[in-house]
Amino acid sequence: MPLVVVLTAVALLLVGCGGRATTHHKPGTSHQEATGSSGTLLTARDEGGHRLRELPAADAPTVRAEVHPDSEGGWNVHLTVERFRFTPESTGGAALPGRGHARLLVDGREAARLYGPWGYVPPGAHTLTVRLHADDHTVWAVDGAPVQTTVRLDGTPATTSPSTPPSPPPTDPGRTVTLTITGTTVQPPPSRIELKKGERLTLRVTSDRADTLHVHGYDRELPLPPGTPASLTLTADRTGLFEVETHESGLVLTQLVVR
């Protein structure tokens, strides 16, 4: 009886990972920046060498910190975050929107990581900065600045980044003088306006005919449409006596005395 040898081929099915960035930190892997698609990875780095990951302000997380004295010394820190959650199980994975951890910088030096809203700072520190990181250890950023907040360790807010720059003080509107021209009559009657050097003055003039207002010495002119108020604002930066008149009708409206 012939001997039949049956050879059976065993096929091995190899399944790859599909090239997608994992969101889990697996044992033995490094904490290098993962290939995530969230935001824009900038070349800029923070003090610890972590690259910044830019997001639009409307999508970026925010953080606030409150500090409370501990009964045994030091400070208990509580964080309030928006558009963000702590994901310790994903640390070392891809940068996904609204995920990551916080790092505490005490007097400018990194001291600890936080994977939740509470932390502790030992006594002797002066300032605390809380900075939000993505799971791949990059720093969430807006307008090229890290998303972070800084408090003095007496509970007083120091700075928050990104922040809105302070508004400039409002400009002093100065004085406004209203004049009306009807035919050859000026109301109120021509007089002198006393000004201090540097003071702002607005002349609001209504004429019953088309004309041009001229401020001598300042070489400022203002077209006067018939029946429609027109305004000219100047800063009295020259001292002396200056007439304000109309070109077509040749009327003196007022005089400026700048001292």
Task: Convert the pLDDT of each residue in 219-257 to its tens digit.
Answer: 899 999 999 999 999 999 999 999 999 999 999 999 999
SS3 of 174-230: CEEEEEEEECCEEECCCCEEEECCCCEEEEEEEECCCEEEEECCCCEEEEECECCCE
CATH fold, domain 175-258, is Immunoglobulin-like (2.60.40)
pLDDT band at 29 (very low <50, low <70, confident <90, very high): very low
Residue spans per domain, the chain: 40-161, 175-258
Other Cβ atoms less than 10 A from the Cβ of 167: the count is 6
| Cβ pair 53, 41 in contact under 8 A | yes
Other Cβ atoms less than 10 A from the Cβ of 115: the count is 13
Q: Name residue 53's beta-bridge partners.
A: 41, 140
Q: What is the pLDDT of residues 113-144, one digit of tens each?
A: 999 999 999 998 889 999 999 999 999 999 99
The angle at the Cα of 192, spanning 189 to 197, to the nearest 5 degrees, equals 145
Q: What is the pLDDT of residues 205-221, one digit of tens each?
A: 999 999 999 999 998 99
Nearest to 116 by CA among 151, 82, 87: 87
State the Cα torsion 141-84-159-142 to the nearest 10°.
20
Of 17-26, 69-78, 81-90, 189-198, where does mean pLDDT reach its minimum? 17-26
Q: Retrieve residue 179's tokens.
A: 């004049």
Query: Could you say which of 3.30.450, 1.10.3470, 2.60.40, 2.30.130 is the CATH number of the domain covering 40-161?
Result: 2.60.40
pTM equals 0.50
Q: Which residues contact 61 (CB under 8 A, 6 or more apart)?
A: 81, 82, 83, 84, 98, 132, 140, 147
Same fold, 40-161 and 175-258: yes
> For 24-35, b where at least 16 C-beta lie within 10 A, e where not — what string?
ebeeeeeeebbe
